[in-house]
Structure 1
Amino acid sequence: MAGIPGWEDRVRELVQAELEGLVDEVRTDALGNLIARRKGKGPRVMVAAHMDEIGFYVRHVDAKGFLRVQNVGGFDTRNLFARQVTVHTAGGDLPGLMNPAGKPIHISTPEERNKIPTVADFFVDVGLSAEEVKARVKVGDPVTLRQEGMRLGKFFTGKAMDDRASVFVLLEALRLLKGKKLACDLYAVFTTQEEVGLRGALTSAYGVEPEVGIALDVTLAVDLPDLLSHHYVTEAGKGVAIKVMDSSAISDRGLVRQFVELAEKKKIPYQMEVLPLGGTDAGAMQRSRAGVPSLTLSIPTRYVHTVTEAVHTDDLEATAALLTAYLQGK
């Protein structure tokens, strides 16, 4: 499923179909956010999970039919070598290959081999003649990375777990809450353009006017070889992460305390998160109108912003369990 910022339509259609029978109202706003309301008595709570994924736009088609791209979202270019991609054109999807321009290893110097390319160095080859490429591909067409999702032990792995894992958790929470009484008036918002500045959450929060904001997103699980424990941020399989802060927001300390106490009461595994760099939709909700008490529940994820993002099934379950317990006021 593809959906870079500004092109979340396919994801939105799938989510809207899954919402059937789970909510009382569904609408789409001007930025493409899908806003689903489950009516209840209590404070107006907005729970946000973003639908978009990092990707690219075509910015140039050269004389030989190779495509140059502009990234939308942050990439570590060390993870972009020799990747399969999809170019989404008006006439249908085209498979392609992404590589950095320059000499192959067999004829390059040691200095050239050690250079880390920038996104501007990469091109896409769709295997067609220049004439056919120019007839089918236009500047502004989206490009997404290709990767088959799969089970890996107790993990799910694939591209765009950031933030489709949280989209799943929010849908799962709504399924768990079906027919049950809420302690709030719930707005489940599937947001757009998070990866380019939390844009969808900003406009949807302005419209919803929540009294409490909860973002669902992934966070770094770097419990990996050759890293010291103080680099971990979170550990996979150790439970939902209750975020204290990141570079977009400092979580409301009252909400942090409330979620910690709830997790301990319900015996839901949790861990505390301090993320040095990165942000979530909580940063936009927090600054909406006159301000909204907000925090993020994070799903620990290995290999973030690659096509092998991996989330542990226990962490998915813990995140859904803590969210539903809060929304029920239990």
Structure 2
Amino acid sequence: MIDIPLLSKICELPGAPGYEDKIRNYIIEQIKDLVDEWSVDSMGNILAVKKGRGDKKLMVAAHMDEIAFITKYIDDEGFIRFHTLGGFDPKTLTAQRVIVHGKEDIIGVMGCKPVHVMSAEEKKKIVQISEYFVDTGLPADKVKEIIEIGSPITRERSLIEMGDCVNSKSIDNRVSVYILVEALKELHGKDIPYDLIAAFTVQEEVGLRGAITSSSGVNPDFGIALDTTIAYDLPGAKPEEKITCLGKGAAIKILDGSTICDHRMVKFLKQTADANEIQWQPEVLPAGGTDTAGLQRSSQGGAIAGAISIPTRNLHQVIEMAHKQDIRNCIDLLVAAIEGIDEFNWAF
């Protein structure tokens, strides 16, 4: 159904915002022979082009960065203080391993004040991000020899299969990187209507930065973003709070906190899914944004933009979970949309 070894490798490689080198190099190796040309722009976005018959451009974006941290201070005992790169719920940092990327990679653990010495009042409060530190188990002089201010820090966690699902760090958004790579494989050697620009973007987690710059350079007529979305199909969730559910199909975005998707693109994706018997579900996400906004706004005059989203539980944790069939449905919908985009009436 899906290539677990490939997805595992893509999820597990480090790629903090602004430090996407390792994941970028791996993606290039996977896609360089599947496209007509590829390049890396000044920000580090990969722009892979598959030529089409017509004179329009479709840009599909999947961001390759992951939420992470950056070293901001090393104290006299060798403990590392950090700044977050992306959004974190403080309680999810407890008892986690990380990798500090300096002159060499060093394993560390997230530490904070032990509960045994907390006051009764402290025990009632959530530990704040500023109270955490990274402990590498090394003496201070060794830490300072290998690590410097600005060294990125990523989370350490392997991908596993759980029933019908996969569980890992960085499902957000490496599952979309995987989907776009798989789509390029399935389109290899096929004739497509318009030029396809497969954009693997940087720094989405800190403000959609790569999508904004790459879209402004490409000026696509159409844009489809690939990203995860909330699956709050958990105990205690009210029906109206669920957003999406695992195993209910690819999610077709209607809006999120930064974008109202073009209603024509929403209709096109729905019709494409139905025509190809691909299971789908609607997505209305009240908060949070994706590269959809960058695609939509940064093209000259705007692009007709929407998104295919992958329902995911436990977002921005190291236990993100997605359903294998949903992932397969997203690949199928993306390929069908790329192949059929010229058959839809795009008039208002």
TM-score relative to the length of structure 2: 0.92
Q: Distance in 1 between matches of 2:304 and 2:131?
A: 42
1:97-151 per-residue CA deviation (whole Å, 9 max, x = no partner) reads 1122x2x222322221121122211100011111211222100000011111111
What is the alpha-carbon distance in structure 1 between the residues aligned to residue 128 and residue 244 of structure 2?
A: 29
Tell me whether 1:241 sits opposite 2:251 in the alignment.
yes
Q: Which runs of 5+ in 2 are unaligned?
A: 1-12, 344-348
1:318 is aligned, of 323, 329, 332, to: 329
Query: Who is 2:168 aligned against?
Result: 158
Q: In the alignment, what sits opposite 2:52?
A: 40
1:170 aligned partner: 180
CA RMSD of superposed structures (Å): 1.0
Aligned to 2:65: 52
Of 101, 105, 129, 1:93 maps to: 105
Q: How does 1:127-206 map to 2 (within 5 A)?
A: 127-206=137-216
Q: 2:123 aligns with which of 105, 113, 126?
A: 113
89, 109, 116: which one aligns with 1:76 = 89
CA deviation after TM superposition for structure 1 residue 29, in Å: 0.1
- Shifted more, 237-246 versus 286-295: the winner is 286-295
Matched length: 327
**C-alpha separation in 2, matches of 1:249 and 1:192:** 19
CA distance in 1, matches of 2:177, 2:148: 31
Aligned: 1:27 with 2:39: yes
Distance 1:118 1:108, change over 3 A: closer
What amino acid maps onto 1:114 in structure 2? K
1:41 CA displacement: 1.7
* TM-score (norm. length: structure 1): 0.97
- In structure 2, the partner of 1:10 is 22
Q: Which runs of 4+ in 1 moved over 3 A?
A: none
What is the Cα deviation at residue 300 of structure 1? Answer: 0.3
> Displacement of 1:207 after TM fit?
1.0
Give, in whole Å, the separation in 1 of the partners of 2:117 and 2:177. Answer: 46
Quick check: 64-73 or 282-291, which moved more?
A: 282-291
Hey, what does 2:312 align to over in structure 1?
301
- Output the CA distance in 2 between the equivalents of 1:34 and 1:20: 10
Identity %: 44
Separation in structure 1 between the aligned mates of residue 132 and residue 115 of structure 2, nearest angstrom: 16
State the SS of the aligned residue for 2:111.
strand
Note if 1:66 corresponds to 2:79: yes
Q: State the distance in 1 between where 2:21 and 2:282 align.
A: 34
Residues 108 and 136, structure 2, Cα contact 8 Å, conserved in 1: yes
The reply on whether 1:223 has 2:236 as its aligned counterpart is: no
Aligned mates of 1:85, 1:322 — CA distance in 2: 35
- How far did 1:20 drift? 3.2
CA distance in 2, matches of 1:291, 1:232: 31
**Pair 176,297 (structure 1): closer, same or farther in 2 beyond 3 Å:** same
1:241-275 deviations in Å (ceiling 9; x for gaps): 00000011110001101111111111100000000
8 Å Cα contact 2:32-2:38 kept in structure 1: no
C-alpha displacement of 1:21: 2.1
Structure-1 separation of matches of 2:128 and 2:306? 34
Structure 1: state its 5+ residue gaps. Answer: none
